[in-house]
């Protein structure tokens, strides 16, 4: 392989830059020309390609976001869009692409691979919701950001004897909420994977904890819980106040969770994954997803990866409920 492309797609995640850097440097060391594709598949269809050199990726390892920008493209999902992208690859001599993103981005990578442009996916999303991976780039940084923000909220919540109800991201998955909830010592954690009963899992828990002398509370809610129109965090805060008498406030942490300098873990894993992705392409292997399983870097067929299922660790959930009282 003489020329490859690298793109970031879907929601950005801290550590994507470290992955781009690893891809570019591994390729350069192996005399492979690299194009950075600006704004994901949209940029590929439009031919927004930037030649990358060793020094193009200087001073990015510590930066959040993605220097290649990101986009979600509906047009790319059409056959016409796909053909436009393939024409650009042929025009620039691109023989393989490293795609850094989530499940949606991997579907695009699979479709391109099937049409003769081998692609290797790298899991980059704060949600940690990619079935074939124990860990996705950005997840650790995001968890630490949530923890820091909620610790701050706790200071004011404790000063006023309040209950703070905090919604965190995660799309349809509760990994962020569960782990952040444990890390901040939340009294209740609501995630989409586990059915809940507000009386049993929130109001009664708060009442029981009140009896032990505690006067301030944290409730962490995954956005997957509110997404179905079940209940908003504002409604939940109001209900908690009515049911328990504890003054309550609601907040949605939103995009602050996606920014910031990546943690050590995200930088190291992203570097390992970027390196492995180029190794695969150099061996002429495409249609793969690089993943982390039991702390090892492995890879899967994209089709297989997209059909895998991942489950929340119910022991962790059970433990969270026991020790949060
Ligand atoms: O997938 C990352 C993520 O931040 C999700 O947690 C969230 O549901 C979604 O992206 C938000 O997307 P947008 O930035 O388009 O609002």
| Mean pLDDT computed over 73-85 | 95
- Taken in order 314, 131, 61, 259, the sign of the CA dihedral is negative
pLDDT digit string (tens) for 287-301? Answer: 999 999 999 999 999
Given this model, what pLDDT does residue 308 score? Answer: 97
CA of 148 to the centre of ligand 1 (A): 20
Instruction: Please identify, by atom number, the ligand 1 atom nearest to the C-alpha of residue 258.
Output: 4
Residue 65 near residue 259, CB atoms below 8 Å? yes
3-state secondary structure 14-40: CCHHHHHHHHHHHHHHCCCEEEEECCH
pLDDT at 228 over 80: no
C-alpha–C-alpha distance, residues 45 and 5, integer Å:
13
Instruction: Please identify, by atom number, the ligand 1 atom nearest to the C-alpha of residue 257.
Output: 4
Residue 293 gets which letter from DSSP? E
Instruction: Please identify, by atom number, the ligand 1 atom nearest to the C-alpha of residue 127.
Output: 6
Nearest CA to ligand 1 atom 2: 11
CA of 163 to the centre of ligand 1 (A): 26
Residue 138 near residue 100, CB atoms below 8 Å? no
> What percent of the chain stands above pLDDT 90?
98
For a substitution probing ligand 1, which of 13, 169, 179 has the most ligand atoms within 8 Å of its CB?
A: 169
The CA-CA-CA angle for residues 68, 136, 309, to 5°, reads: 125
Q: How crowded is residue 144: how many other Cβ atoms within 10 Å of its Cβ?
A: 18
pLDDT digit string (tens) for 29-43? Answer: 999 999 999 999 999
Given this model, what pLDDT does residue 85 score? Answer: 98
pTM greater than 0.85 (yes/no)? yes
**Catalytic option among 127, 129, 266, 299:** 127
Instruction: Please identify, by atom number, the ligand 1 atom nearest to the C-alpha of residue 102.
Output: 1
Render the burial of 251-269: b for 16+ CB within 10 Å, e for the rest.
ebbeeebbebebbebbbeb
Given this model, what pLDDT does residue 229 score? Answer: 83
The closest alpha carbon to 102, from 127, 81, 120, 80, belongs to 127
Say which residues have a Cβ less than 8 Å from residue 303's Cβ, sequence separation at least 6: 110, 287
| Mean pLDDT computed over 192-217 | 97
* Average pLDDT in the chain: 97
CA of 146 to the centre of ligand 1 (A): 15
| Mean pLDDT computed over 75-91 | 97
CA of 206 to the centre of ligand 1 (A): 30
Following DSSP, what letter does each residue of 73-141 receive, concatenated? -SGGGSHHHHHHHHHHHHHHT--EEEEEE-HHHHHHHHHHHHTT--EEEEEB-TT---TT-S--BTHHH
C-alpha–C-alpha distance, residues 239 and 270, integer Å:
42
CA of 200 to the centre of ligand 1 (A): 30
Ligand 1 site residues, Cβ closer than 6 angstroms: 11, 102, 125-127, 169-171, 223, 258
Residue 225 near residue 190, CB atoms below 8 Å? yes
pLDDT band at 45 (very low <50, low <70, confident <90, very high): very high
Does the annotation count 127 as an active-site position?
yes
Nearest CA to ligand 1 atom 1: 11
**Residue whose pair of structure tokens reads 């509110």 in the numeric block:** 226
**In sequence order, what E strands does the chain have?**
3-8, 33-37, 49-52, 96-101, 119-123, 163-168, 188-190, 217-222, 248-252, 288-293, 296-301
Residue 43 near residue 37, CB atoms below 8 Å? yes
The closest alpha carbon to 242, from 198, 272, 181, 194, belongs to 198
pLDDT digit string (tens) for 147-203? Answer: 999 999 999 999 999 999 999 999 999 999 999 999 999 999 999 999 999 999 999
CA of 114 to the centre of ligand 1 (A): 28
Instruction: Please identify, by atom number, the ligand 1 atom nearest to the C-alpha of residue 169.
Output: 6
Nearest CA to ligand 1 atom 9: 171
């Amino acid at each position: 392989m003489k020329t490859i492309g690298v793109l970031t797609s879907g929601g950005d995640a801290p550590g994507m830059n470290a992955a781009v850097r690893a891809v570019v440097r591994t390729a350069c060391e192996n005399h492979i020309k690299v194009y950075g594709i600006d704004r994901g598949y949209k940029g590929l269809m439009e031919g927004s390609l930037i030649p990358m050199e060793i020094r193009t990726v200087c001073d990015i390892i510590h930066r959040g976001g993605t220097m290649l920008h990101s986009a979600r493209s509906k047009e790319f999902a059409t056959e016409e869009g796909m053909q436009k992208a393939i024409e650009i690859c042929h025009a620039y001599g691109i023989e393989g692409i490293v795609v850094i993103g989530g499940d949606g981005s991997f579907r695009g990578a699979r479709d391109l691979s099937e049409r003769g442009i081998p692609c290797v996916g790298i899991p980059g999303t704060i949600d940690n919701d990619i079935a074939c991976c124990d860990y996705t780039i950005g997840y650790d940084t995001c968890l630490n950001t949530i923890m820091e923000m909620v610790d701050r909220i706790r200071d004011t919540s404790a000063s006023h004897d309040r209950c703070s109800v905090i919604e965190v991201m995660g799309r349809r998955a509760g990994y962020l909420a569960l782990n952040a909830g444990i890390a901040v010592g939340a009294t209740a954690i609501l995630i989409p994977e586990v059915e809940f009963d507000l009386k049993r899992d929130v109001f009664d828990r708060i009442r029981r904890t009140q009896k032990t002398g505690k006067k301030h509370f944290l409730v962490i809610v995954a956005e997957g819980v509110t997404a179905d129109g079940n209940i908003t965090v504002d409604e939940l805060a109001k209900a908690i106040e009515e049911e328990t008498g504890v003054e309550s406030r609601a907040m949605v942490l939103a995009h602050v969770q996606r920014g910031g300098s990546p943690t050590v873990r995200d930088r190291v894993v992203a570097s390992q994954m970027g390196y492995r992705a180029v190794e695969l392409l150099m061996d002429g292997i495409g249609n793969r997803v690089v993943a982390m399983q039991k702390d090892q870097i492995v890879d899967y067929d994209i089709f297989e990866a997209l059909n895998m299922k991942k489950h929340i660790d119910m022991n962790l959930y059970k433990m969270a409920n026991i020790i949060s009282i």
